Structure 1
Amino acid sequence: MRQLFTGLRLLREEDLAEALKLCRVDPAASILAAARIEGALRSGLRDGGGMLLGYPRFGELQAFAWVGSNIVPVNPFGLADFRPALADGLSRHGTAVSSIVGASDEVLGLWRMLVDDWPAPRDIRPVQYSMVLRGAPRVMPDTTVRLAEPSEHGELLPACVAMFTEEVGYSPLKAAPHSYPERVRWLIDSGSAWISRGEVDGRSNEIRFKTEVGATTSEMGQLQGVWVHPSLRGRGLAAPAIAAVAASVASQGRTPSLYVNDFNAPAIAAYERVGFERVGTYATILF
């Protein structure tokens, strides 16, 4: 496989510490890759579900990309030659992915070099606020928010599907009818899925809020998939619920983070109410 990547090298176990060091230049921008690397340090790259392509081909590692079900470029020093090298390597390899996600400059710069050779994307999200919470939440946490239990998988799954469909535009069960429910089960079993229950449309004990700490490193925990039941939106429920999850992440010595579309004004307002501050910009290319 190495000959396919003329300007890159396929990283090995011995390169992981160096790659993780690059992630720490901007932890919020690179958490999606860093989480994969820390997982590989624990259990090996073979079980990581992807590969790491490093730049340059020889010498000290200066940039890299995680390539699995998605592509996450990490180029903390903005090296101009990394993007064409990565684009060439990806085009040669013919990788099929669901998204390209990460720091906006890298994602959009890479996409400009792939656009003529790759399938048309389903959507492009060019501006997504990268936000972190430093210090305690500014609102009182919702004490009803708790970790989801394994017995709640059947109820949590529809909420996850609803959030995904609303966000991306299609049901994940159509694209991944088996792996997506298992992903939700893994989030529950790993202590990453959070919910709040209460009255919804006259029905008691319904799931009214959910989120996941979907990417975790030694430094940071990224909230993903934030969802409030449509019947309860606009009532101020999101901020206290998010505060509860963020406080739990912080209690483990990690900085809470997330990213959100720039056009989602209600969500941004809720995050800012909690105390999240913008520290950068993500972009996502969805296939």
Structure 2
Amino acid sequence: MFFFSRRSVRRLTAFDRPALIRLLDTDPVATVLARVPVEQRRSLTSAIGLFDSDGLRSVAWAGGTLVPYGFDDDGLDQLAAHIVKTSPSASSIVGPQDQVMGLWKRLESHMPEPRDVRVEQYSMVFAREPQVGGDPLVRRATPAEAPLVYPAAVAMFTEEVGYDPSGRYYRSRVENLIGEGRTFVRMGRGFNGEPKVEFKADVGALAGGVAQIQGVWVAPELRGQGIASACMSRVAQIVARQIAPTVSLYVNDYNLAAVRVYEKSGFVTVGHFSTVLL
């Protein structure tokens, strides 16, 4: 383990892995996105650590998504200076609100105009009895259903993020989640009797005993009919029993319909996230 007489920022190495795990353990829900690549045994060179005399104090995973955790104001100054100097590429900054907005305040003048800044997002966990029963039609998607799930996933991403992600990488992502049993669907029939996805949700991040639900989508013609709460209730119960004991998600504060769905499904707010889409 490395120790320093004063605070310093550097890239992590394999020797820092035990200290990094201990740091991430202090808040598994807030750090699940940063912990995924760590548990996948990826190189830690994408992680930027702040060290003081007691060892690793704070960390930011600087991959495709920049996820900061545990920095105070001085630490955010040092992290921002390091990022400006080394120019790591990232398509978004996501994480606890104080971390993301504090870092963005320091980076904003050095970065291109963001596509969106979502200041207030509720970090929620499945922690109480749902107000609605789980929909028994919700189940894991099968690999054979990937061609049906893919358009729903593209529609969800386009609505949420603002651009069409269609391509080989995104298709592979959808297929991998289905293959790992981490995509849940309710299937129905179209006007001509053809099978169609009516609801979908993914365990988009899984690490440290936390399963983060992402990619929640309801077919447009079925919205407002109350199916989402029952579907989410079912998903949360299956995931908590079979995948990870803690089920989490985060949602934009202005999406009042979705917030209400999650509350009815048994989710409670435990923190505040922010996202900057670059």
What is the aligned counterpart of 1:98 among 76, 91, 111? 91
State the one-letter code of the partner of 1:123.
D
CA contact (8 A) 1:8 1:57 kept: no
SS of 2:221's partner is helix
Q: Which deviations, in whole Å up to 9, do the C-alpha atoms of 1:253-275 show, x marking residues without a partner?
A: 51111000001011001100011
Structure 1 portions without partners, runs of 5+ = 1-5
SS of 1:144's partner is coil
Shift of 1:36: 2.2
Tell me the equivalent position of 1:79: 72
Tell me the equivalent position of 1:267: 258
The RMSD of aligned alpha carbons is 1.8
**Percent identity for Structure 1 against Structure 2:** 40
Shift of 1:116: 0.9
Shift of 1:131: 0.4
Q: Which deviations, in whole Å up to 9, do the C-alpha atoms of 1:62-96 show, x marking residues without a partner?
A: 10011111100011xx5222111111111111122
Tell me the equivalent position of 1:20: 21
Alignment of 1:220-259 (within 5 A): 220-252=210-242, 253-259=244-250
Tell me the equivalent position of 2:141: 148
Q: Which deviations, in whole Å up to 9, do the C-alpha atoms of 1:199-236 show, x marking residues without a partner?
A: 34564531100010011123211100100000000111
Provide closer, same or farther for how the CA distance between residues 88 and 57 of structure 1 changes in structure 2, counting only shifts above 3 A.
farther
State the one-letter code of the partner of 2:125.
V
Shift of 1:21: 1.8
Shift of 1:27: 2.0
Structure 1-normalised TM-score? Answer: 0.89
Tell me the equivalent position of 2:32: 31
Q: State the alpha-carbon separation in 2 of the partners of residues 148 and 194 from structure 1.
A: 5
Shift of 1:37: 1.8
Worse-superposed segment, 152-161 or 50-59: 50-59
Tell me the equivalent position of 2:277: 286
Tell me the equivalent position of 2:152: 159
What is the aligned counterpart of 1:198 among 168, 175, 188? 188
What is the aligned counterpart of 2:175 among 175, 185, 188? 185
2:50 aligned with 1:55:
yes
Name segments (4+ residues, structure 1) moved above 6 Å. Answer: none
Worse-superposed segment, 81-90 or 264-273: 81-90
Structure 2-normalised TM-score? Answer: 0.92
Q: State the alpha-carbon separation in 2 of the partners of residues 205 and 196 from structure 1.
A: 10
Tell me the equivalent position of 2:127: 134
SS of 2:163's partner is coil
CA contact (8 A) 1:8 1:55 kept: yes
State the one-letter code of the partner of 2:186.
S
Q: State the alpha-carbon separation in 1 of the partners of residues 270 and 183 from structure 2.
A: 25
Number of equivalenced pairs:
271
State the one-letter code of the partner of 1:211.
A
Structure 2 portions without partners, runs of 5+ = 1-6
CA contact (8 A) 1:64 1:74 kept: yes
Q: State the alpha-carbon separation in 1 of the partners of residues 85 and 247 from structure 2.
A: 37
SS of 1:62's partner is strand
SS of 1:18's partner is helix
